[in-house]
Structure 1
Amino acid sequence: MTTPATHITVTGSTDYDVVVGRGLLEDVAAHLAPATRKVLIVHTATVGARANALRQSLLGDYEVLIAEVPDAEAAKRIEVAAFCWQIMGQADFSRTDAVIGFGGGAVTDLAGFVAATWLRGVQVLLLPTSVLGMVDAAVGGKNGVNTAEGKNLVGTFYAPRAVLCDLDTLTDLPRNEILAGFAEIVKAGFIQVPEILDIIERDVEVATDPATPEFRRVVELAIAMKATVVGEDFTERGLREILNYGHTLGHAVEHAERYGWRHGAAVAVGMMYAAELARLTGRLSDEVVDRHRRILESLTLPTSYPVGRWQSLLATMQRDKKTRSGMLRFIVLDDVGKPTVLEGPDASLLFAAYQEIGS
């Protein structure tokens, strides 16, 4: 018996549903606006066969165009967005037409940005095909592209029409991609939903198998957590900042590695750093810091970074969009489920915490 799809509503200026289930790609048309006539499917080569199958299913009812873009962070460049805009312009896309982002988190970020900026906003439907995309990138209405100076420095807040998380698209995903995506699930566990941590600790193999009820449970818990936070603070004026746990240093690591690292791996290092920072300020116990390391390492995610890279990482963090008036701000924990902001920590403290994760 097939488990019914789960609908998680994200509230805001425009409400939308994140749907989790199986076989969802068979019903994509039902989520497009009735006036839609043209559709642009933005996808990577990795999901090319599925994207073409989706195109065939929509032909007849819609004029369907395809934009194949580079994989991972290479997709999130203004030149790639311009390529998509060119296709839309040549096809006379109107405000009633639609963009579908079909792929991992980078693709849904790009597709959202393209849709938000074309004619100042056309509808976008997101079909994430990675764990990271499902639990994080596609859910919150954030989109954007990277620049030479840093990640996600150009972008908008723009609600999708819907997000369809079809678990069947994960069946052929490489295991290291699944585990990298779990960094964002672990983040959700530490900042608000400890049940996630308990499920992973009970049996990491079962929790990370897309075929199990435990996998679906942690995915739905992480999405529901983000939906609640985003619903209360869509444009990141306050509460939504907690979702940046591990991301201040994590984005700097991605930049230092020229986006050669998976996002989840960089965030894992960033969470470990934030935990050590909280411990050194007397906020967090040794036990919770050790729990970070134990869970992340059980997922084969990195928890250290080379000592000699500190100055370049610091320079990148100072350009981070979370910085205020030149003052660095970190999301840290007082305990599991108790995130808070650490503003303007002393430079010596920052370096000492980095020494704790240095390799």
Structure 2
Amino acid sequence: MHRIDVGLAERSYPIHIGRQLFTSLPTLLTDLPGQLCIITNATIAAHYLKPLQAALPESATVIVHEIADGEHAKSISSYGEIMDALIAASFNRDCAILALGGGVVGDLAGFVAATFQRGVDFYQLPTTLLAQVDSSVGGKNAINHPGGKNLIGAFYQPRAVVISTDCLTTLTTRDYACGLAEVVKYGIIYDAQFFAWLEQNAAALNAREPEALAYAICRSCEIKAEIVAADEREQGQRALLNLGHTFGHAIEAEYYTSWHHGEAVAAGTVVAAQYMLQHDELTSADYQRILALLQTFGLPVRAPQLTEAKWQQRMQRDKKVQAGRLRFILPTRIGHAELRTVTDWPGVWQAIRAVTETTR
């Protein structure tokens, strides 16, 4: 088992990474309160709910709230239903929320925890690779609004993150690849050596070999922990974690039934890289390495068709927009990226068109 600490003074917390960790919860989480609410979905519950319940204190009052599977479940109505369940069960400020699932479950559960009784403890138990390396760490929690993704939320840190890598054996190939998109991101924005390691170990990662997978998760969490500790509320460096996300969220908003988050981020990363390539700020060699690695992991490197007006409309709702001006995370080389305000819309549109699918 590996332990990584997210250093945030009084809000610091551990990330535990290993196999079969749900059975070890009594030793990992020694201060669980007497009222516990597990938020999950039916797909995850079928695999992991019973083992989790068996590991919880027998004296605890435990309720389970299952949400629908998919991004649409991260909604105002789902949030309201959970609040109703907590109030009906007479839960108080000493309760805790356990998020058992992927990014949708974790984001929703975290926002519930941040706002119920003005804030209660919560624990992240991520079951997808994407959640394990990204959304479960850092305390960004949110629900969606019809006007855009993650527009209603809060910065609220968990008490601990427990990553049980054996959960990844039940992931579909597509969902597993979506997690690898976020892993690749860390190499692009922060660690050129890690990117090279991913290139060298791509076959092992595609085969879900335990040792390679454990290292990829640990290094990803280490990088995110370092960035979050330096910039908890995304005032500067933490924005780098959004590489590809401004473009990706626009894709997700328009194609939420057919594009998953990791796929949209992969395509968005290529758009950002293409923009820098066109401006001679990213070498062709680095651009091709990014494309090749994403393709090796089965991720899309072309964006779907959207009108210019739709791209602009969706991206103007991005949380990085400042004074009406678009800001993007742009890679200058593998291992380094920058947050920049971009007023050159024709250049952005040219980059989008260069990597847009001709058919769908």
Scaled to the shorter chain, the TM-score interval is over 0.9
Q: What is the TM-score normalised by the length of structure 1?
A: 0.95
Structure 1 counterpart of 2:68, one-letter code: P
2:120 maps to which of 106, 122, 127: 122
Structure 2 counterpart of 1:216, one-letter code: A
Cα deviation for residue 259 of structure 1 reads 4.9
User: Which ranges of structure 2 fall in alignment gaps of 5 or more residues?
Assistant: none
Structure 1 counterpart of 2:298, one-letter code: T
- Within 2, Cα distance between the matches of 1:66 and 1:77? 18
| Greater Cα offset, 31-40 or 246-255 | 31-40
- Within 2, Cα distance between the matches of 1:31 and 1:213? 22
Task: Establish whether residue 36 from structure 1 lines up as the match of residue 47 from structure 2.
Answer: no
Cα deviation for residue 307 of structure 1 reads 4.3
Structure 1 counterpart of 2:338, one-letter code: T
Instruction: Please give the per-residue CA displacement for 1:256-285, whole angstroms capped at 9, x wherever unaligned.
Output: 113531110000001000001111222111
* 1:32–1:120 distance in 2 versus 1, CA, 3 Å: farther
1:21-100 counterparts in 2 under 5 A? 21-32=18-29, 34=31, 36-49=33-46, 50-58=48-56, 60-100=58-98
1:163-242 counterparts in 2 under 5 A? 163-242=161-240
Cα deviation for residue 30 of structure 1 reads 4.0
Instruction: Give the share of equivalent positions with the same residue, in percent.
Output: 34
| Greater Cα offset, 228-237 or 89-98 | 89-98
Structure 2 counterpart of 1:45, one-letter code: A
- Within 1, Cα distance between the matches of 2:32 and 2:247? 44
3-state DSSP class of the match of 1:143? strand
1:19 maps to which of 16, 33, 39: 16
* 1:174–1:92 distance in 2 versus 1, CA, 3 Å: same
2:320 match: 322
Structure 1 counterpart of 2:8, one-letter code: G
* 1:96–1:291 distance in 2 versus 1, CA, 3 Å: same
1:358 match: 356
1:9 match: 5
1:105 maps to which of 103, 106, 109: 103
Instruction: Please give the per-residue CA displacement for 1:69-104, whole angstroms capped at 9, x wherever unaligned.
Output: 111312210111111111110111111111000001
2:153 match: 155
Cα deviation for residue 47 of structure 1 reads 1.3
Note if contact 1:32-1:125 (Cα within 8 Å) is conserved in structure 2.
no
3-state DSSP class of the match of 1:302? coil
Note if contact 2:32-2:96 (Cα within 8 Å) is conserved in structure 1.
no
1:267-278 counterparts in 2 under 5 A? 267-278=265-276
- Within 2, Cα distance between the matches of 1:198 and 1:299? 14
Note if contact 2:286-2:334 (Cα within 8 Å) is conserved in structure 1.
yes
- Within 2, Cα distance between the matches of 1:70 and 1:138? 19
3-state DSSP class of the match of 1:140? coil
Instruction: Please give the per-residue CA displacement for 1:277-314, whole angstroms capped at 9, x wherever unaligned.
Output: 11122211111111111111111111112344332122
1:282-321 counterparts in 2 under 5 A? 282-321=280-319
Note if contact 2:251-2:304 (Cα within 8 Å) is conserved in structure 1.
no
Cα deviation for residue 33 of structure 1 reads 6.3
User: Which ranges of structure 1 fall in alignment gaps of 5 or more residues?
Assistant: none
Note if contact 1:256-1:313 (Cα within 8 Å) is conserved in structure 2.
no
Q: What is the TM-score normalised by the length of structure 2?
A: 0.95
Structure 1 counterpart of 2:230, one-letter code: E
- Within 1, Cα distance between the matches of 2:209 and 2:304? 36
